[in-house]
Structure 1
Amino acid sequence: MSAMLEWLDPIRSFLPLLLTLLVTLLLLGTAHWLLLGRHPDLGNERRFPRQLVLLGLSLLALVILILVLPIEAGARNQILGLLGLLVSAAVAFSSSNILANLMAGVLLRMTRPFRIGDFIRVGEHFGRVSERGLFDTEIQTENRELIALPNTLLVSQPVITTQSSGTIVFTTLSLGFDVHHATIEPLLLQAATQSGLHEPFVHVLEIGDFSVQYRVSGFLDESRRLISARSDLCRAVLDVLHGARIEILSPTHMVQRPQPAGTQVIPPEPGRVRATDKVDAEELVFDKAEQAERMSIERKGLRAEIEALEAELKAAEDATRESLMLRLEALRERLQSLEQATPEDENGAR
């Protein structure tokens, strides 16, 4: 009998460890199901903070298991010290820039200063957001170039975001003192309206030594047309002022050809021009950002539709449950394919 009790002593010493292991595995499994398992439609951006929580819980569980090991206190402290050393070494060997960009990426996801498809300006960089990563944010410029901006740059410098709900488009020009501002302002307002802007207004910015500087502005309700809207406004200003026989020329302008007194430098109005197909510049220049924005909007719509169907399914009768479940499954498959796809994949599929 005593020999059997001596044989059971090692098992008794490991019993707290086994119970703690079972409890921690059960808790980690439950946490994984609550955070990720029951949400298969989560995108990478929404999964990332939940994965960080699971990582922290896993490290905490490992420390608890070490604390309940049936070993001497000195050995336990050595194991904890070794674990701390390994974690410190992992952080030390990792580049400080990588860690800083990771933390900046987490901060940007919390504050959300911009979203995919928005126009942003950071320092000398301007473009539309096409991707948001853990370490950098990708924008597509007016030249269709893709620039990866480190997340630390977006946190350390001011970020100017053009709201998707609309923005102000403006242009400036200088005119001589020989034309009264009461004549100029209605023409500039007409040009802004003609270019498609709403609620236009004009400011006199500066009275210089040789000219007066004006700025005409208007509201653009479709921000994706920002580049074309600026060009359209400048074109309309030229057409309207030249049509009114107002010379857009610096008073200090000097030419090397003799001109009779009172000559105005205004181009002649063109005759009938053959209509050409107008190219959608934004669709061509910001193709990746456009597709990324469409995918983001579609994902949000699918999530809302899935939530509505799930609520409807709980209250549905047996006769309609099967059709609702089939529709719900189709929506989930589409959402999952969007979560895993990139804008290039979607462009290739279309």
Structure 2
Amino acid sequence: MDILGSFSSTIIAVLGTILLVVIIHFVFRKTVESSKRWPYQRQFLVFLIVLVGLFMSIAFLPIHNEVKNQILSILGILLSAIIALSSTTLVSNAMAGLMLRVTGEFRGGDFIEVGTLVGRVTDLAIFHTEIQLINRDVVSLPNLYLVQQSVHVTRRDGTFINLAVSIGYTVSRVEVEEALLEASKKCGLTDGFVFIETFLDHAISYRLYGLLKESGERLSKLSELHKTVLDVFCERGIEIASPALNDRRELGKDSLYLPKVSSKNEKPNKETITAEKVAFDKADEAQSIEDLKQQLEKATKKLEGATKTAKEKLEKQIKVLEEEITKREEKKSEEA
């Protein structure tokens, strides 16, 4: 009994630490917003509690003060050495990961550009971020790199895609603008407009902008826009001198650089699969999980002030969403 009495403070400190960890785990598990949006804060908080509990347990040990001080000093030195040695890599990337999560600049499924890399986000981990490129390959970037670099994020609710062409001075500006806007409409783009960027030695540089509402189709739509511009300009007899036209030819002054008109019209294939569906399959799955989490968050907020009948429907909806999210995340982990 004397031994238990002498160790009672240490036992209480250990049990208190375990109890706090269990409570935090339970609270974050039940609170949807905390568990889904702030997973790393929970881990960091548990780590701090365990660390404080360890120091308190040692401080309450029924041993000589000098021995306690030596043990605490050794632990402090070890902890300082770990932080110092890993500060440039592990800790830096972890802090950068927390920063990216807190700022929420991009999430799973978003289209981003970092340096020369263009792709969609498939996973945001605490130490790295995974991006799927157009060739379906996956690139893992350290979070510290993303924090230090300029990241271009394509908006989900729509983005303007653009292309530049150079047209000779002999062609009317009005004609060029009409042709470019026609190509924009044929591609299904809205709110199109044309900028005259600069006067070159051989031509005028025009840039066409069009709003694409489905940002996930950005690459295929940009390619389609280039094709349509070529077709429209050929139909209208407008010669493209982009990026520079440098040629010697013995032709009449009315001759134009135009391809021969094909007798066969290109027929659209209804079964054609867009490049993004094949290239960004993993990113699409990450985006669908993020969308489900947003639906879950909205349903949970509505649950607070809902009526009894509405609460029952919302509770069923929340349960279905939670099951679907868990199922998809488990599948994603298995494939990884």
The two structures share one fold, judged by TM-score above 0.5: yes
Deviation at 1:115, TM superposition (A): 1.1
Report which stretch shifted further, 290-299 or 323-332.
323-332
1:83 match: 75
Q: Whose Rg is larger?
A: 1
1:280 match: 274
1:272 alignment partner, SS class: coil
1:170 match: 162
Deviation at 1:240, TM superposition (A): 1.5
Q: Are positions 1:99 and 2:94 aligned together? A: no
Deviation at 1:79, TM superposition (A): 1.2
1:191 alignment partner, SS class: helix
Q: Distance in 1 between matches of 2:325 and 2:87?
A: 35
- TM norm structure 1: 0.83
Q: Kindly tell me: are residues 99 and 165 of structure 1, through their superposed partners in 2, closer, same or farther at Cα, counting changes over 3 Å?
A: same
1:5 match: none
Amino acid corresponding to residue 7 of structure 2 in structure 1:
F
1:173 alignment partner, SS class: strand
2:170 alignment partner, SS class: coil
Deviation at 1:32, TM superposition (A): 3.0
Q: Distance in 1 between matches of 2:44 and 2:89?
A: 19
Contact 1:288 1:343 in 2 (8 A): no
1:342 alignment partner, SS class: helix
Out of 234, 237, 240, the position equivalent to 2:229 is: 237
2:332 match: 342
Q: Kindly tell me: are residues 165 and 184 of structure 1, through their superposed partners in 2, closer, same or farther at Cα, counting changes over 3 Å?
A: same
Amino acid corresponding to residue 27 of structure 2 in structure 1:
L
Deviation at 1:345, TM superposition (A): 4.7
- Show the 5 A alignment for 1:1-350: 12-36=5-29, 38-39=30-31, 46-92=38-84, 94=86, 96-249=88-241, 252-255=245-248, 258-273=250-265, 275=267, 277=269, 278-305=272-299, 315=308, 330-342=320-332, 345=335
Q: Distance in 2 between matches of 1:343 and 1:87?
A: 32
Q: Distance in 2 between matches of 1:273 and 1:305?
A: 50
Q: Distance in 2 between matches of 1:268 and 1:344?
A: 53
Q: Distance in 1 between matches of 2:14 and 2:333?
A: 44
1:17 alignment partner, SS class: helix
- TM norm structure 2: 0.86
Q: Deviations over 1:218-259 (max 9, x none)?
A: 11111011011111221221122211111123684314x632
Count of residue correspondences? 333
Contact 1:41 1:339 in 2 (8 A): no
Contact 1:41 1:336 in 2 (8 A): no
Q: Deviations over 1:56-86 (max 9, x none)?
A: 0111111122222222221111111121123
Report which stretch shifted further, 223-232 or 90-99.
90-99
Runs of 5+ consecutive residues of structure 2 not aligned to the other structure? none
Report which stretch shifted further, 101-110 or 275-284.
275-284
2:7 alignment partner, SS class: helix
Q: Kindly tell me: are residues 35 and 306 of structure 1, through their superposed partners in 2, closer, same or farther at Cα, counting changes over 3 Å?
A: closer
1:138 alignment partner, SS class: strand
1:4 match: none
Q: Deviations over 1:149-204 (max 9, x none)?
A: 11111001111111111101111011111112122212211111122110111111
Deviation at 1:328, TM superposition (A): 6.0
Deviation at 1:47, TM superposition (A): 2.3
When the two chains are superposed, the root-mean-square deviation of aligned CA atoms in Å is: 3.1
Identity %: 33
Deviation at 1:298, TM superposition (A): 2.3
Q: Distance in 2 between matches of 1:309 and 1:345?
A: 34
